[in-house]
Structure 1
Amino acid sequence: MINKVTKYLYIAFLSLASLCLLCLLLALIRLILPKVSLTDWDLLAFTGSMIAAVVTYMGIRAPILSQRKDQLMTRYSSIIKVLTLYSKKTRRIIFMTEFYNSLKEHEVTKERLQEQATVIKEYIENVSDLFAEIVNDVDLLTFENIEFKIRSLYGFINHYEAIDTHIQNYDSDSFFVFDIKDYLKQSKELEQYLVVYQQSLLVKYNEIRNRSVFRLTDPFKDII
């Protein structure tokens, strides 16, 4: 945070720098156009017109940048809120995957396999609803990444529709068991991606909130 003394020093420095530049400009004009008499100029009128031009420029630019800042902050906060709300439903996939991976082979019963399949199905449904909420606000790269990961998970729906058959013919070495592990892994990776994305948004949101509108750049180009 800049204190008042530092702020006044900045203003004084910029004022002196502006006067120096003005003197250099006049000297340059005299050097390039020696026949032009500077005494015939109304220096105050010239200086006033320059100041008026700067004030007009800043007066137009400031509201535009301020509006853009508000739009970006609204856009970020909208995505962050949705991610936070849905995390109550989706975040558990990380811990459940770690738990299931810690099970020994004899602990993976038919009932446990049914439970894992249900967890994956619920996650796919919840993360699909989440994506539908933020699809119009995320940047293109994030959209492509999330859409690809969710589309990869949709293959599990076919497995789940035949879950009774898979459970009835349960075999610890069956493709269904390995597919369950793979889809759990994919679900966990997608959720971890969303966690990192949410954290990045929070950082960018705070940067924009604390940044002067005149230093505003396009923050979405740096988002994961």
Structure 2
Amino acid sequence: MAFQKYGWDLLAFAGSIIGGIITYLGVKMTITSQREDRKVDKYYQDISVLYYIVNNTSFIKNVEIFECGEELEDGSYKVNISDTLAMQLDYIVDFMDIVQDKISDLIKSLDVDSFAVLDVNMKNLSGARLFVKEFDLYFRRDGENRMKERVSKYIDISEKIHKLIEDHMDDRTTEYLKIKKKTN
């Protein structure tokens, strides 16, 4: 045989080809498995951050109904509009601080379009800080109705941000469960 003429053994040659194919398939399966594991880990990290933000900012859904006031002698309740609006602005700033604290992690989690929406809304919301610092001045200067409009606008923006993050968390959780189910 021609193989024997050159010192080749047909069985050894076929064995090395089969061994190479088996090694290739084994390495490919290992790499694929490691990619899936990394994907699961990334989703888990994303969900952890999103869960933290959603849970720690859920108060924003109720800020509009928070009121400050006092009970009168006749048992009725008188709302102090100035204190109520100031308190609502404080909550909005607290909301902003929680989101801002995790913004670098959100960047990794959100797609470009969602992050652009979040970024624009956070910038629009940033004006609330100014009103918190000088609330009494703005309340006296602009009046109750104008301040109510501003605070209402900031509450709406905050709720949009919260919903965006909450929806993203739900989407990531669904994807995580699908991937986790595949890997098990």
Q: Is the 8 A contact 1:117 1:160 kept in 2?
A: yes
Q: Distance in 2 between matches of 1:138 and 1:67?
A: 23
Residue in structure 2 matching 1:199, options 165, 170, 183: 170
The match for 1:173 is 145
* Identity value in percent: 21
2:121 is equivalent to residue 149 of structure 1: yes
Task: Give the residue type in structure 1 aligned to 2:97.
Answer: E
Following superposition, the deviation at residue 81 of structure 1 comes to 1.2
Q: Deviations over 1:116-148 (max 9, x none)?
A: 111111111111112234334444344333222
- Give how far 1:69 is off: 1.0
- Alpha carbons of 1:127 and 1:58: their partners in 2 closer, same or farther (altered >3 Å)? same
Structure 1 residue 55 displacement after superposition: 3.0
The residue type paired with residue 164 of structure 2 is: Y
RMSD: 3.0
Deviations 1:196-224 (CA, angstroms, capped at 9, x unpaired): 100111111111111159xxxxxxxxxxx
Q: Note the residue ranges of structure 1 that are not aligned, 5 or more in a row.
A: 1-43, 101-105, 214-224
Question: Which residue in 1 is equivalent to 2:98?
Answer: 126
Unmatched segments (≥5 aa) in structure 2: 1-10, 67-77
SS of the residue corresponding to residue 135 of structure 1 reads helix
- What's the counterpart of residue 17 of structure 1? none
Aligned equivalent of 1:26: none
1:40 corresponds in structure 2 to none
Q: Does the C-alpha gap of structure 1 residues 212 and 83 become closer, same or farther in structure 2, counting only changes over 3 Å?
A: closer
Q: Which amino acid aligns with 1:207?
A: K
2: CA distance, partners of 1:145 / 1:47: 59
* Matches of 1:203 and 1:50, distance apart in 2: 43
The equivalent residue for 1:63 is 30
User: Structure 2: how far apart are the matches of 1:52 and 1:125?
Assistant: 58
TM-score by length of 1: 0.62
Show the counterpart of 2:71. none
Report whether the alignment pairs 1:189 with 2:156: no
- Equivalenced residue count is 164
